[in-house]
Amino acid sequence: MSTLSSDAAAHRPIGLTAHSGIDRAAHHRLDEAWLAAAWSHPTTRVFVVSGGQALIDDTPDGRTELVMTPAFEAPLTETHRYFLGTDADGVRYFALQKDTLPGRMDQSARPAGLREAGLLLSARDAGLMVHAVALENWQRLHRFCSRCGERTVIAAAGHIRRCQACGAEHYPRTDPAVIMLVTDEDDRALLGRQVHWPEGRFSTLAGFVEPGESIEQSVVREVFEEAGVTVGDVEYVASQPWPFPSSLMLGFMARATSSEITVDGEEIEEARWFSREDLRTAIESGEILPPLGISIAARLVELWYGEPLPKSAG
């Protein structure tokens, strides 16, 4: 396999992974006095998250920012207030989980999810939004104790749910998943199409890590289950938080030891081997749609392709 650092695309950033400059300051999460003082500080900034979306706005100088307000202008909430951290200037950041996003008097802001906002926001704002969306997803799905079934309450500034009946503490869930670009002896790339994707969309194979399984074993198993291709060498590349709703994507390059494809027909509807020329022609003609730019899948394909993927005719 080629050395990753030798590829022209090796240093292109992976969406949602850039250093945000935010210190999560986890040691303050249980300090109610500190949190109260932080909330009331005039420099504190707050944004609302609802259904995986937040408000974003375009600035006159061409940037896109999260819509944030001072705490005293933020909507009221009794419990769903999440401390996200501080920056180098000492500014504290909080997110509020609400049923709906607030309106804006100037009507210039718009709601956006991470798939859109993650490509537009600064590393700081994208990092804050990823943190908030992940907490919101977990909070909405884990309101009851898995030990005794009683309702839980929020603690640690949104990072713990406690059961007052049995005393159990529950923490935000992250599900590890592997995502891999498989190449064969002719250096062709294996791309597949899931049954529920738009027509023409092809991407890397992926799947969740099973209990008692290493991530390398998961790569081998998932590729064989989904495409019937056996894999030998597996090389880790990078990871990406993917809170849709709670995954951590672990990216790999893998070398196939067989080339015959047999798709499972349940998750993967079609899979094909692509040479670089095949892929370029198919994308430029509009025959296939490449992976979404925010996903680690796009970076994995570019590592093999050697440069940014071409633009689609569509």
pLDDT in tens, 52-85: 999 999 999 999 999 999 999 998 876 799 999 9
Q: Determine the Cα–Cα distance for residues 28 and 92; give it in Å rounded to an integer.
A: 11
Q: Tell me how far apart the alpha carbons of residues 251 and 140 are, in angstroms, rounded to a whole number.
A: 28
Residue 181 near residue 162 (C-beta atoms within 8 A) = no
Confidence of residue 1 (pLDDT cuts 50, 70, 90): very low
Please give the average per-residue pLDDT across 179-191, as a whole number: 98
Domain boundaries, the chain: 22-170, 175-305
Q: What residue type is 125 in one-letter code?
A: D
Residue 133 CA, distance from chain mean position: 10
Three-state SS at 282: helix
Residue 2 pLDDT greater than 60, yes or no: no
Q: DSSP labels for 59-111? A: -TTS-EEE--EEGGGSPP-SS-EEEEEE-TT--EEEEEE-SSPPP-TT---EE
Closest CA to 300 of 259, 250, 252: 252
Report the C-alpha gap between 124 and 126 in whole angstroms: 6
Contacts of 308 (CB under 8 A, 6+ apart): 9, 12, 302
**CATH code of the region 22-170:** 3.90.79.20
> Would you tell me which CATH number, out of the four given (2.40.50.840, 3.30.1050.10, 3.90.79.10, 3.40.190.10), belongs to the domain 175-305?
3.90.79.10
CB 38 within 8 A of CB 83: yes
Q: How many CB atoms lie within 10 A of CB 106?
A: 7
The pLDDT assigned to 99 comes to: 92
Residue linked to tokens 């706005």: 57
Instruction: Report how far residue 94's alpha carbon sits from residue 118's, in angstroms, rounded to the nearest whole number.
Output: 18
Amino acid 277 reads: E
Angle between helix 276-285 and helix 296-305 axes, rounded to 10 deg: 130
Q: What is the pLDDT of residue 3?
A: 38
85: amino acid identity, one letter: G
DSSP letter for 149, please. -
In angstroms, the CA 125 to CA 182 distance is: 33
- H/E stretch holding 174 reads none
Question: pTM of the predicted model, to two decimals?
Answer: 0.91
Whether 276 shows a pLDDT value over 70: the answer reads yes
Closest to 281 (Cα-Cα) out of 306, 312, 307: 312
| Least confident piece of the model among 22-26, 75-79, 125-129, 213-217 | 75-79
The reply to whether 175-305 shares the fold of 22-170 is yes
